[in-house]
Every structure is written in structure tokens, then in C-alpha cells.
Amino acid sequence: MIEIQNLTKTFGEGQGAHAALRDINLTIEDGDVFGIIGQSGAGKSTLVRCINLLERPTGGRIVIDGQDVTSFKGKQLLELRSSIGMIFQNFSLFQQRTVLRNVTFPLELRHEKKAKAEARALELLELVGLAGKARNYPSQLSGGQQQRVAIARALANDPKVMLCDEATSALDTRTTAQVLDLLRNINREMGVTMVVITHSLAVAEQICNKVAVIDEGRVVEVGETRQVLKSPQSPVTRELIGMNFTSVDGGSAQPSACADEMRQGVTAVMVEEAVSTVSFVESTNIPASGPVNEPEGVR
């Protein structure tokens, strides 16, 4: 279980200070696929990065399985991050490494024997449907295939939790649906708790059992996904919901179940699936499950 208690995060000081998160309180149960939705700049990514301490909270606590991890450093922090996988919007793969060696990278950091690391990586590549791509390089793969490699890498340390930061934003709608199906199967079959950051209600509807809506750093609504989308209580949530809201499988002619219910009386505005061109750039504190820059001397 992840408990986020009175969490705040402020960037800068004095007159230039910006409160990115304001008194956030959320409980994410084991096995949840918990969506955090909101418009750009709402604080979604900052919140998810506080969970594995890529961002240090200014105040409040992150409690995981009854243990306050907020002040973890050194070995404790490394162990925490090894138990939390993370996938990013732009995949964050090593272009000079093969698919296989991208997946073995977290295991190399733990000094796992090469044969054992490669066996684990091949097992995960089969799980994500890329068993035949082990010797390829990322540049030889499609966007959807690259994200599958990133998912396999995030699973290498057998994490309890996976953080998904706009993991499908750079993908077309059909590929998005395939990746979401994969994540849902991982959740069901492996019991991995997932925290899904997204601006897309279609993504939230397809994969999340619960959602929290964030606006200007505050939680404005939280509950079971179907209930929140069917009967939004916050004006912010209503602004995010479209009358012609459809599922992410690319079929514009077939409205989702939530869309049918919305037509019966929920007032909302149109929301379309967006493809973001913003690249995630991580300069420091990258967890083993998703680094951007390879340490000197590792090949």
C-alpha cells in the first residue's frame, strides 16, 4: 500500500517560489491501477516522481507498506527504487545497447551474473512479445516496441510497484491500446501495483480501477474510475470529460460504456487523445529501472 500524506512540493524560494503540490492525500491499495489525471502543469508528474523520491517532497510523507520512506538515502533509497519500476513518455532506452542489454542493465547494476541476467531479460522480452528482437537496437524498433522494451526493463528487478509517466502519450491510439493491454495483464498476472499518470480520460477508463483528478497541485476528486467519469463532482473533472468520449482502440464509431452513460445527463466538453512531442529529459537521480545516461565505462 502507498499512502501519500499531506504532501507538498515547492520549487524555488521567496517571491519566485512555486507550489507544485499542495497538501496531497491519497491511498493506493496493493493491486490497484491508480490513475492520476489532469491538465498539463497540474502537478501529475511531480507527484509520481515524489513516490520514488526522484523529487524530494517539501513537506508531508510517503508511506509504503507501513514504512515512511520520505527521508530514505543511500542503500535504503537504492533498495526502494529497485522495488519501484518506472516507464517514461519517451522510452529512455540506451541507443547504443541492444534490446537485451537494455533489459539487463538494472541487473548489471546489482552485479547479477551475466547468464542469469540474460535469462531473466529473455523471459521478460517473451512476456512483452519481443522475444525475437533481443539482438536489435532501439532505433530498429517502432515506438510501441520501444515502450515494450522499457516495460521489460522496469520489470527486471521484480518490482512491487510500477510508475507510468505518460507512457502512451507518444504513441498512436492503436499502439496505445496494445501497450495498455500489456500493462493490465502485468497487473493482473503479476500483481504489480501501478500508478498511471495521464492527461487522457480514455487511457484512464481502459486501464485504471481508481483515479484522482489533480488541478493546480491539489486533488479535486478521487474515486472509482467509472463513478468519477460517469458522475463527476468537480468542475475541473467535467472540463476533462467529452460527450463523444471514445475508447483508445482507435474505433471512433464505437463509444465507450462511460460515453453512453454520459449522454444520459452528464454535461462535459470534448477531450481528444493527444500525441505529445515533449521529450522527457532526466538529468539526475535516475532509478535503475529507467536511466537516461549510461554511466561511464558501462557498455
Q: Which domains does the chain have, with CATH numbers?
A: 2-228 (3.40.50.300)
B/e letters for 10-37, b = 16+ CB within 10 Å, e = fewer, are eeeeeeeeebbbbebebebeeebbbbbb
Which amino acid type is present at position 236?
V
- Report CA-CA distances (Å) from 59 to 18, 50, 56: 14, 11, 9
User: Tens digits of per-residue pLDDT, 40-81?
Assistant: 889 999 999 999 999 999 999 999 999 999 999 999 998 999
Query: What is the percent of the chain where pLDDT is above 70?
Result: 81
Mean pLDDT of 246-258: 43
Query: What is the percent of the chain where pLDDT is above 90?
Result: 63
In terms of C-beta density within 10 A (0-12 exposed, 13-18 middle, 19 or more buried), how is residue 139 classed? exposed
- pLDDT at position 223 is 96
Report how far residue 234's alpha carbon sits from residue 124's, in angstroms, rounded to the nearest whole number: 41
- pLDDT at position 242 is 61
Arithmetic mean of pLDDT over the chain: 83
Asked whether the beta carbons of 196 and 36 are under 8 A apart, the reply is yes
Asked whether the beta carbons of 135 and 102 are under 8 A apart, the reply is no
- pLDDT at position 22 is 95
pTM, whole model, 2 decimals? 0.80
- pLDDT at position 288 is 44
- Say whether pLDDT at 284 is over 90: no
- pLDDT at position 200 is 86
- Say whether pLDDT at 23 is over 70: yes
In terms of C-beta density within 10 A (0-12 exposed, 13-18 middle, 19 or more buried), how is residue 178 classed? middle
Confidence of residue 118 (pLDDT cuts 50, 70, 90): very high
Asked whether the beta carbons of 247 and 173 are under 8 A apart, the reply is no
- Say whether pLDDT at 151 is over 60: yes
Mean pLDDT of 163-188: 91
Residues in Cβ contact with 233 at an 8 Å cutoff, skipping those fewer than 6 apart:
221
Per mean pLDDT, which range of 178-187, 216-225, 281-290 is the poorest? 281-290
- Say whether pLDDT at 4 is over 60: yes
Asked whether the beta carbons of 196 and 203 are under 8 A apart, the reply is yes
Rounded to a whole number of angstroms, the CA Rg of the chain reads: 19
